[in-house]
A and B are shown apart, each in its own frame.
Chain A
Amino acid sequence: MKCWLHLLIPPCALLFQALPIVLIRLLASATYGKQRLLPEVWEWPASLFVIAACAAISILLGGGGVYLLLTRARLRTAIPLIALCCVPALIGGAVYLHATLIFLTLV
């Protein structure tokens, strides 16, 4: 398993990008759907926590994928995987990070 980790993490980083979209939709439905499932007082902190967590996980998976590929794979394998999987994950992570910082009024 360990020797395949560097090939497994980049696709996981890319696939993870679907999860924030699903989570955001769920949060919106839980707060403003037909029935309010999330109390109003939790709406803002819970939403921020989810977005911040998505940023952290995307950046860790994307950055970790780059590191593992560059240290363990041949360049001709590493470069396409970085371009196709890790870079989109890093961009996704950057979007969620910037959103978190804006919502927290830090930037």
Chain B
Amino acid sequence: MSKRYAAAIAVILAGCAYALVVVVVGDGIFWDTSVPPGREHRAALAIRDNVTPFQKWGTKLFTWGYLKRYYGAAWYFTQAKKGDLEDEFVACLDEALDRYPAVDLYLLAHTNEYVDWVAQLPVERRQRIRFVYNTGCHNLPQGPRWLELGADAYIGHPGVSSSSVFYCFLLRRWTRGGTLDDAITAGNAVADKTFRQYELLTMGRAKADWFIQESTASSFGDTRLRIEDCPQ
């Protein structure tokens, strides 16, 4: 075969492999990745609980790039044991709420009660908490309490959630300027598709319907919010 044809086939195969991966992952490609306006007015805090080194590493690797790029300031905490870093987290949140009019919280932890940590802060400070995403299993019912504390919106999962799938899709959409509602709808839809693929892959041993029932995210509060909004 001529060198030109061989080179063309090698490039086409590489392109097809990339297209296959994008289709299987299912989240598509965002061509417009520009930062929505008002970056200097918003901050984010994320906290990961004490899980395996690989899970801690993977969560930070994915999350950190988005927080750093789309927020004026970002802090990331990784716990080394249960209940760890309470003072550091609360002090940092206090500082963020003092400096920024909109602060988002990413609680990347199994069933948790970080809501009690945040409740220690003065009422007027807590009004600047904009959006809280909680990956914790059975943590959806915390929504009303977060709104009572001052958050404008809360997203959680109802049961034994496989929230990491949803979280990836949510963060990518929310930071690119979609409303929380759009991000939740799309995140749930792509997560459902992933669970169906997993059911196929395990030849029916893993039940997609169970994953969907336990994991589908719901929200409380104002889900028309966009990342550029500064609700008061």
Instruction: Given A32-B57, A95-B21, verify A71-B6 contact (CB < 8 Å).
Output: yes
Flag if A31 contacts B18 (CB, 8 Å): no
Flag if A28 contacts B57 (CB, 8 Å): yes
Q: Does B117 contact A (CB under 8 A)?
A: no
Overall SS of chain A's interface = helix
Contact-residue bracket for chain A: 35 or more
Within 8 A of B (CB), among A79-101: 82, 86-87, 90-91, 93-95, 97-98
Flag if B29 contacts A107 (CB, 8 Å): yes
Q: How many residues of chain B get a CB closer than 8 Å to chain A's CBs?
A: 38
Q: CA separation between A95 and B25, bound complex, in Å?
A: 9
Q: Does A48 contact B (CB under 8 A)?
A: yes
Kindly provide the distance from the CB of B10 to the nearest chain A CB, expressed in whole angstroms.
Answer: 4
Q: Does B33 contact A (CB under 8 A)?
A: yes
Instruction: Given A32-B57, A32-B78, A102-B62, verify A70-B17 contact (CB < 8 Å).
Output: no
Flag if A107 contacts B6 (CB, 8 Å): no
Q: Does A64 contact B (CB under 8 A)?
A: yes
Residues of A at under 8 Å CB distance from B?
A: 24-25, 27-29, 31-33, 43-44, 47-48, 59, 62-64, 66-67, 70-71, 82, 86-87, 90-91, 93-95, 97-98, 102-107
